[in-house]
Structure 1
Amino acid sequence: MGCAGSREKVDGTSKKIQKPKAWKHSEAITRAQLMQMREEFWDTAPHYGGRKEIWDALRAAAEADLNLAQAIVDSAGVIVQNPDLTICYDERGAKYELPKYVLSEPTNLIRDS
């Protein structure tokens, strides 16, 4: 029996998504640099394995608010290992690793003026 706030399915494949913990990039970066890093990741991610439709669902979830992100991963059949979406699996067992920079902003982000 879980706590009232638990979203764990009976088969244990779905965890409630949480906002990633604060993180700091190795050096201060601008929003434009962060967006370029994200685009490069999403452009190359499918080449590391897994299914394109799962990568697309993970991108949509990463760019959505928490409630919508939860609905996206649940409907795509994504198995969330880490609640911040950094490690997920599809129903076939393929692993999907997302870097924190695609999920949230660093604490040392330089604000564009």
Structure 2
Amino acid sequence: MGCAGSSQAKADGSAKKIRKPKPWKHPQPITKSQLLQMREEFWDTSPHYGGRKEIWDALQAAAEAELSLAQAIVDSAGVIIQNADLTVCYDERGAKYELPKYVLSEPTNLIRET
């Protein structure tokens, strides 16, 4: 008998499917370049939050891919999805990975650069 995140549990169809994050708003309007800088800083420092680098790399690839490819990436990496929008995930060893919404989608108050 395996834990809830074991491959046996995934085989019976209980694995969550990835979906797009719900619309969200940044505390203040930001430009696309500011958003990209925030994302770059997060991914550069993400291994320092704990967990395994290869899982962080897989999560980054999934966050930057279309939904169907993202699903294949997390499935092949053995990522256990807690929240379908990828904001909370675990690896097979139980390490927790939290992704901020700004690495998964754009805010509703994104402004054009002048």
Same fold (TM > 0.5): yes
Whole-Å separation in 2 of the counterparts to 1:13 and 1:97? 21
Q: What is the one-letter code of the residue matched to 1:74?
A: D
Report the equivalent of 1:80.
Answer: 81
The normalised TM-score by structure 1 is 0.89
Report the equivalent of 1:37.
Answer: 38
The number of equivalent residue pairs is 106
Q: Is the 8 A contact 1:13 1:79 kept in 2?
A: no
Report the equivalent of 1:60.
Answer: 61
**Does 2:112 correspond to 1:111?**
yes
Question: Between Structure 1 and Structure 2, which shows a larger proportion of helix residues?
Answer: 2
Q: Is the 8 A contact 1:13 1:80 kept in 2?
A: no
Report the equivalent of 1:91.
Answer: 92
Runs of 4+ aligned residues of structure 1 deviating over 3 Å after TM superposition are 10-13
* Cα offset, 1:48, TM superposition: 1.0
- Across the aligned residues of Structure 1 and Structure 2, the Cα RMSD in angstroms comes to 1.5
The normalised TM-score by structure 2 is 0.88
Whole-Å separation in 2 of the counterparts to 1:81 and 1:88? 5
Deviations 1:37-87 (A, max 9, x none): 000000011011000000000000000000000000000000000000000
